[in-house]
């Protein structure tokens, strides 16, 4: 990562530092990325514990602290983006805007708080996961872990939607547990039928859950059972994935020089 010269302007140096923090793979950047990931997980825990905390006096205090943090994150990502247009075009920007509105007006927009689970998806696609697994010697598990994260994100997004749309008024965590139970039963096509969603919206939710959930479940199963491969683009044909010990590309026969971290 290029370090800005001392003579560079303050906005330029700030942008480079934020880009390094967000995309860098050096020790300094990875430490900050780990800290941000831990904070994201803590925020997710706050949302999951919401049914138990909502009646307490500190709930709104924590709610607005989280809102300030998310606003700061959004501002930092806007400053580090190549342009305002690029920042606005990112899916996570719009998700964070919706979540921020939810936090600022919890009584009106509580239905969208569960979208914060999408931060797990962002972590799964960040350099932190890839570099952390490589340094730990588990780079071959990247596809499996990403498939697990994608499945969990979908599971809890649907659970959050079902909970806020159909079971929100139930006491304590009963509503969330019922929503999770319904989602798992639907994704696995078990279909016990003891909990169903009423109305047209409920039927459409069930259909989407089954179609997308089965696809992600199959993807997860494929990632677990298929032979481990390494991502290394062939310089001739561009084939991305090869066996760990491949010497030649199976598509075009080009000699490969895949780096071996164990050597």
Confidence category of residue 263, pLDDT binned at 50, 70, 90: very low
pLDDT, tens digit (0-9, with 9 covering 90-100), for 178-215: 888 888 888 887 777 777 888 888 888 888 888 888 88
Q: If pLDDT is split at 50, 70 and 90, which confidence band does 10 have?
A: low
Residue whose C-alpha is closest to residue 261's, from 134, 130, 128, 131: 134
Structure tokens at 6: 């001392």
How high is the pLDDT of residue 201? 85
d(CA 215, CA 211) in angstroms, rounded, equals: 6
Question: Degrees (nearest 5) of the Cα angle 72, 74, 78?
Answer: 115
Q: What is the pLDDT of residues 132-155, one digit of tens each?
A: 777 777 777 777 787 888 888 888
User: How far is Cα 25 from Cα 244, in angstroms, rounded to an integer?
Assistant: 23
In angstroms, the CA 261 to CA 263 distance is 6
Return mean pLDDT, the chain: 76
pLDDT digits (tens, 9 = 90+) for 53-108: 766 677 788 888 888 888 888 888 888 888 888 888 887 788 788 888 877 887 66
**Which span out of 78-87, 110-119, 121-130 was modeled with the highest average pLDDT?**
78-87
Question: Which residues fall within 8 angstroms of residue 191, CB to CB, at 6 or more apart?
Answer: 185
Q: Which residue has the tokens 């659970």?
A: 159
3: left (phi over 0), alpha (psi -120 to 50) or beta: beta
Q: Which of 263, 229, 226 is nearest to 249 (CA)?
A: 229
Where would I find the beta strands (DSSP E) of the chain?
229-231, 241-243
């Amino acid at each position: 990562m290029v370090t800005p010269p001392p003579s560079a302007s303050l906005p330029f140096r700030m942008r480079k530092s934020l880009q390094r923090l967000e995309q860098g793979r050096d020790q300094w950047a990875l430490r900050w990325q780990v800290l941000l990931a831990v904070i994201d997980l803590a925020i997710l825990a706050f949302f999951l514990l919401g049914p138990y905390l909502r009646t307490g006096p500190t709930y709104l205090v924590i709610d607005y602290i989280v809102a300030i943090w998310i606003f700061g994150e959004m501002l930092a990502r806007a400053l580090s983006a190549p342009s305002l247009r690029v920042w606005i075009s990112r899916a996570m920007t719009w998700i964070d805007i919706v979540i921020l509105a939810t936090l600022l007006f919890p009584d009106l927009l509580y239905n969208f708080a569960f979208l914060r689970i999408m931060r797990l998806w962002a972590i799964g696609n960040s350099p932190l996961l890839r570099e952390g697994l490589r340094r730990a010697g588990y780079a071959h598990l990247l596809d499996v872990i990403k498939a697990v994260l994608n499945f969990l994100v979908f599971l809890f997004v649907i659970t959050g939607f079902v909970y806020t749309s159909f079971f929100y008024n139930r006491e304590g965590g009963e509503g969330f547990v019922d929503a999770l139970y319904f989602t798992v039963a639907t994704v696995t096509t078990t279909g016990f039928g003891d909990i169903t969603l009423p109305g047209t919206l409920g039927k459409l939710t069930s259909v989407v859950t089954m179609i997308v959930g089965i696809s992600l479940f199959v993807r997860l199963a494929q990632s677990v059972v298929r032979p481990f491969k390494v991502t290394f683009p062939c310089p001739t044909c561009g084939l991305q994935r090869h066996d760990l010990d491949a010497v030649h590309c199976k598509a075009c026969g080009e000699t490969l020089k895949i780096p071996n971290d164990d050597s």
